[in-house]
Amino acid sequence: MATLTAAHSRRLREIWRSAGWPCQDLIEVELLAAGLVERVRHPSGHETLRVTDAGVTHLAETLQRNRARRDAHEDLVDRVAREMTRAGRIAWRGLSLRAKVDEAWAMAMPDVFSIRHTTVEAYLEPIVHEVKVHRSDLLSDLRREAKRAAYLRLSSECWYVIAHGIAQADEIPREFGVMAAQGAQLEVLRPAPKRAMQMSLPLWMALARATPVEGWRSEEVQAWLGEGPQDS
């Protein structure tokens, strides 16, 4: 019996949510052999598939593992967003953005996007943080060249924030800074290169429609704004 993969789990979920019409491919053969689904013959003579009790158990276990992965990811995303607000920036989570890459538009959903709280466009310094807590997710992301190019077009700095131990900084392209989360600390493994960048109108409109992370209006942020370059 082959080891069950994510493709097997997806098919099992599809059978659970559907009328169970068979595809008669090798994934289905392996699910039948594992006892996770069974064939049901109807009086009309046609067959459908039904998820067995063992299949339901497998779906429940997969759901719990996926929830644990999401919780670890969301906790680190929240930590990065809060760090940005404490640094005097306005931060958003889960934006859906478009960027022009070569002659085509590419979609990007950075985990955290932030800008300085300023009235001077030249001081905005938009930053993208992409969070990865599992090595497989990081390696999959690094294979998506158009997505990485979109992140770079949307920001003056771009960072990968990774869970401690899942990768070395030199595995990540040098256009990106790298931070590692270890305990409560975010350690800079490699600074992000800074680039001049002017925010486009579609990006401005996306920010106008979205709600920033709470906390950027605090007195601490207002005090921070009095330091550094004059904004107005």
Q: What is the pLDDT of residues 68-97, one digit of tens each?
A: 677 889 999 999 999 999 998 999 998 999
- Tens of pLDDT, residues 143-167: 999 999 999 999 999 999 999 999 9
Confidence at residue 224, expressed as pLDDT on a 0 to 100 scale? 40
Can you tell me whether residue 50 is helix, strand or coil?
strand
Tokens standing for 188?
Answer: 């800079």
Indicate where the chain has its CATH 3.40.1350 domain(s).
Answer: 71-225
Q: What is the spatial distance between Cα 63 and Cα 68, in angstroms, rounded to a whole number?
A: 9
Q: What is the mean pLDDT of residues 207-228?
A: 64
- The predicted model scores a pTM of 0.69
Q: Alpha carbon of 30 to those of 53, 55, 190: distances in Å?
A: 16, 12, 45
Q: What is the mean pLDDT of residues 10-31?
A: 92
Please give the biggest Cα pair distance in the chain. Answer: 80
Phi, psi of 212 (to 5 degrees): -75, 165
For domain 71-225, the CATH class is alpha beta
Q: What is the mean pLDDT of residues 121-131?
A: 95
Confidence at residue 219, expressed as pLDDT on a 0 to 100 scale? 46
